[in-house]
């Protein structure tokens, strides 16, 4: 086992902006232990980390594959085999198993992402479709909340005083007057009638006076709309 401890490897990884699972760290330590005392462990680990940084996946299999290629290239240098050295170049494309890609979800309460620990089935359940739209909405919602036009003032002043806009939940539009900004998913709950839906409620929208920006908008598209609530209970987009 290399003299370089696991904590030191993880510290080097964090400097590069990522972390490794324990089994991947063990692969790195095993790779470093193959070199003699004339080659410092730090140099071997840094070289492997430099190659790992260019990889889309950073797991045990990737570390093992890179370590094997580097070991072969090192042996080829001593043997004078240039063909073996040049053959260690990476392929132009990689096949990534979708079930091995980490899935993250957004927690609107803690305002942070967490890793989904559940099983990823091949066939989706009945709730998978609604969960897909919910995850999309929460992901876009946190992006909008950090935009300079929609972020809340830091010291508690009203958004209107600072020139910023505020996204209103659709459920809060009932009984409200004046212009509002809403974010929702375009749907057609009734033939010929379009609605905006968010996690709280839905509202029918009137697009007769809408000024549509550049883009391609279809059903199930999540949009931000400006307008006001009419007495008929319809949100008129303007």
Report DSSP letters for 41-87, one per residue: HHHHHHHHHHHHTT-S--SHHHHHHHHHHHHHHHHHHHHT-HHHHHT
The two tokens of residue 1 are 């086992």
Q: Which of 36-40, 50-54, 132-136, 196-200 has the lowest mean pLDDT?
A: 36-40
Which pLDDT belongs to residue 183? 92
pLDDT in tens, 93-126: 667 788 878 888 888 888 888 888 877 778 878 8
- Over pLDDT 90: what percentage of the chain? 7
Dihedrals phi, psi of 182, to nearest 5 degrees: -130, 155
- Is 202 within 8 Å of 149 (Cβ atoms)? no
CB-based contacts of 29, cutoff 8 Å, min separation 6: 1, 2, 4, 6, 9
Mean residue pLDDT of the chain comes to 80
Distance separating alpha carbons of residues 78 and 81, to the nearest angstrom:
8
Task: Write down the pTM of the prediction.
Answer: 0.56
Mapped onto helix, strand or coil, the DSSP state of residue 217 is coil
The stretch 28-49 carries a mean pLDDT of 74
């Amino acid at each position: 086992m290399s003299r370089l401890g696991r904590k030191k490897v993880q510290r080097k990884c964090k400097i590069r902006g990522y972390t490794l699972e324990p089994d991947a760290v063990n692969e790195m330590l095993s790779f470093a232990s193959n070199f003699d005392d004339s080659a410092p462990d730090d140099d071997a680990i840094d070289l492997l980390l430099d190659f790992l940084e260019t990889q889309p996946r950073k797991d045990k299999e990737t570390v093992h594959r890179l370590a094997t290629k580097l070991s072969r290239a090192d042996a080829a240098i001593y043997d004078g085999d240039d063909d073996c050295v040049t053959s260690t170049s990476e392929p132009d494309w990689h096949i990534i198993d979708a079930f091995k890609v980490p899935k993250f979800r957004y927690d609107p309460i803690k305002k942070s992402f967490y890793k989904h620990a559940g099983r990823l089935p091949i066939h989706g359940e009945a709730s998978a479709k609604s969960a897909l739209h919910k995850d999309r909405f929460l992901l876009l919602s946190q992006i909008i909340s950090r935009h300079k036009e929609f972020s809340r003032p830091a010291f508690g002043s009203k958004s209107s005083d600072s020139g910023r806009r505020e996204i209103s939940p659709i459920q809060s539009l009932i009984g409200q007057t004046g212009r509002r900004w809403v974010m929702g998913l375009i749907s057609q709950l009734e033939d010929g009638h379009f609605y905006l839906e968010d996690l709280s409620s839905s509202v029918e929208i009137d697009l007769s006076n809408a000024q549509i920006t550049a883009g391609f908008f279809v059903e199930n598209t999540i949009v931000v709309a400006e307008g006001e609530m009419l007495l008929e209970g319809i949100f008129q987009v303007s």
